[in-house]
């Protein structure tokens, strides 16, 4: 693999008729990808899709996004069973979302689901994919809530995906041993350049979060794994490194973190 999109949602409805050609475009460029579950149905669909590519670097994470935690009680047996599939390399995405609290399940329920995901990740020795989102005022609380769970005797390998916080917040996360992943947002949000610079290449991964957050070059289009190259290019620019060096390091980071 030359590069890995560590977080994409080809299991979502928008890709229902196009996921195969989307995956083929990525594989033709020697890319790997990890399809992330956000609910029970999309987690199960991610596993189904990955098994169409038995010998290719198409992997899965399974879990329930904070926006889905109010759907039904946390089901640890379901998550544990599905997560033992040989294509599953991570647990999540899970975490705390305080961006629009009026539209999402209660703060305490989100913590309950996060804790449940951590237990499964520890039991199966698989890394955790963290969704941590908020406004400028609430993001510090979302981050601290997640770190509080991880510090509470339940340490696991974890990555804060689609990170959009400050350089100081990034350093807070890195100090706990977690990784940080960036999306195409860094290609058009100038304020994030200091944050990207604060994360050393050996602690950084790249992703698309497709179908969302297309990088600047493709704004207005549906995002896809192929565009993860734009994220790596921006990381190289910000760090003042050669593009190939960023590809090599971020890919190695993903291989080691997810045990690929």
Beta strands 158-160 and 128-133 are parallel
* Amino acid 101: pLDDT: 65
CATH of segment(s) 3-258: 3.20.20.140
User: Distance (Å, rounded) from C-alpha 58 to C-alpha 26?
Assistant: 10
Is 102's pLDDT higher than 70?
A: no
Mean per-residue pLDDT of the chain: 94
Q: What is the pLDDT of residues 15-73, one digit of tens each?
A: 999 999 999 999 999 999 999 999 999 999 999 999 999 999 999 999 999 988 877 78
Query: What's the half-sphere exposure (Cβ side, CA atoms, 13 Å) at 188?
Result: 11
Range with lowest mean pLDDT among 107-116, 183-192, 223-232: 107-116
Which residues lie below 8 Å from residue 144, measured CB to CB, with a gap of 6+? none
Range with lowest mean pLDDT among 126-135, 151-160, 168-177, 226-235: 151-160
Is 103's pLDDT higher than 60?
A: no
User: Distance (Å, rounded) from C-alpha 169 to C-alpha 80?
Assistant: 31
* Amino acid 104: pLDDT: 65
Looking at residues 157-170, what average pLDDT do you find?
96
Split at pLDDT 50, 70, 90, the class of 155 is confident
What does the domain layout of the chain look like in residue ranges? 3-258
Is 192's pLDDT higher than 60?
A: yes
Cβ pair 207, 228 in contact under 8 A:
yes
* Amino acid 123: pLDDT: 95
Looking at residues 214-229, what average pLDDT do you find?
96
């Amino acid at each position: 693999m030359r590069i890995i999109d560590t977080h994409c949602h080809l299991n979502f409805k928008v890709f229902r008729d196009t996921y195969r050609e989307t995956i083929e475009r990525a594989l033709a460029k020697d890319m790997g990808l990890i399809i992330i579950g956000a609910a029970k149905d999309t987690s199960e669909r991610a596993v189904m899709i990955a098994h169409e590519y038995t010998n290719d670097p198409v992997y899965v994470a399974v879990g329930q996004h904070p926006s889905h935690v109010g759907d039904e009680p946390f089901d640890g047996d379901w998550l544990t069973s599905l997560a033992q599939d040989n294509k599953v390399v991570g647990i999540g995405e899970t975490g705390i979302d305080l961006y629009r609290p009026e539209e999402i399940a209660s703060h305490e329920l989100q913590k309950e689901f996060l804790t449940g995901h951590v237990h499964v990740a520890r039991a199966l020795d698989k890394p955790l994919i963290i969704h941590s989102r908020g406004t400028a005022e609430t993001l510090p609380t979302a981050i601290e809530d997640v770190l509080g769970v991880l510090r509470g005797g339940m340490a696991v390998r974890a990555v804060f995906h689609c990170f959009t916080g400050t350089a100081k917040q990034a350093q807070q996360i890195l100090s706990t041993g977690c990784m940080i992943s960036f999306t195409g947002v860094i290609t058009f949000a100038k304020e994030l350049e200091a944050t990207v610079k604060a994360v050393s290449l050996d602690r950084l991964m790249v992703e698309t979060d497709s179908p969302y957050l297309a990088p600047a070059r493709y704004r207005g289009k549906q995002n896809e794994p192929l565009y993860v190259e734009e994220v790596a290019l921006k990381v190289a620019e910000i760090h003042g490194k050669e593009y190939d060096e960023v590809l090599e390091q971020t890919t190695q980071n993903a291989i080691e973190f997810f045990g690929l």
